[in-house]
Structure 1
Amino acid sequence: MSDHSINAEKYWQANLRLILGSLVVWALASYGCAILLRPMLSGIHIGGTDLGFWFAQQGSILVFIALTFFYAWRMNKLDEEFGLQE
């Protein structure tokens, strides 16, 4: 294999790890905290309501927005690392 294809494979593997990690965090926030862990989080109050309800209504959306910015920032760093910046 050429040096270019090895570099492209490493870039793609790093991208997939980033995507997988982001999806796991988002699933834990939206499905885990809002649905599965809701009974455990019901005793913790935030903003006048319990934490499980907050995650279901606002928290998972805020986590998704934060992950979007994190992904863009991290991809820019990966692009610089592999010499693919715009």
Structure 2
Amino acid sequence: MQQNVKQYWKENLFYLAVLLGIWFLVSYVFGVLAVEQLNMIQMGGFKLGFWFSQQGSIYVFVILIFVYVRLMNRLDKKYNLEED
């Protein structure tokens, strides 16, 4: 049982690291560091760098929340840690 708990948390932390990495990429790299290059592309009449810094990072964050919930539900089922 103890080994299952360690493996569960190892997978959980891996999911967190990947999802937070994606959020960092979208919110900081695309919205701050690469904004000049992205501003050369237009999306809906707005520069893409502006869109990422104002809207895109929020949309991606909300999507990542739903992805995390889905991944955790699968992980809970895999290790028989489901709530009743």
How many residues align? The count is: 83
1:82 alignment partner, one of 75, 79, 83: 79
* Gapped regions of structure 2 (runs ≥ 5): none
What is the aligned-residue RMSD (CA, Å)?
0.5
Write out per-residue CA displacement over residues 34-85 of structure 1, whole angstroms, 9 at most, x where no aligned residue: 0001011011111111111000100000000000000000000000001111
- In the superposition, the TM-score normalised over structure 1's length comes to 0.94
* Gapped regions of structure 1 (runs ≥ 5): none
Residue identity in the other structure for 1:62: Y
- Superposition misfits of 4+ residues, deviation over 4 angstroms: none
Provide the rounded CA distance (Å) in 1 between the counterparts of 2:13 and 2:47.
Answer: 35
- Aligned-residue identity in percent: 43
- In the superposition, the TM-score normalised over structure 2's length comes to 0.97
1:10 counterpart residue number: 7
Counterpart secondary structure, 1:43: coil
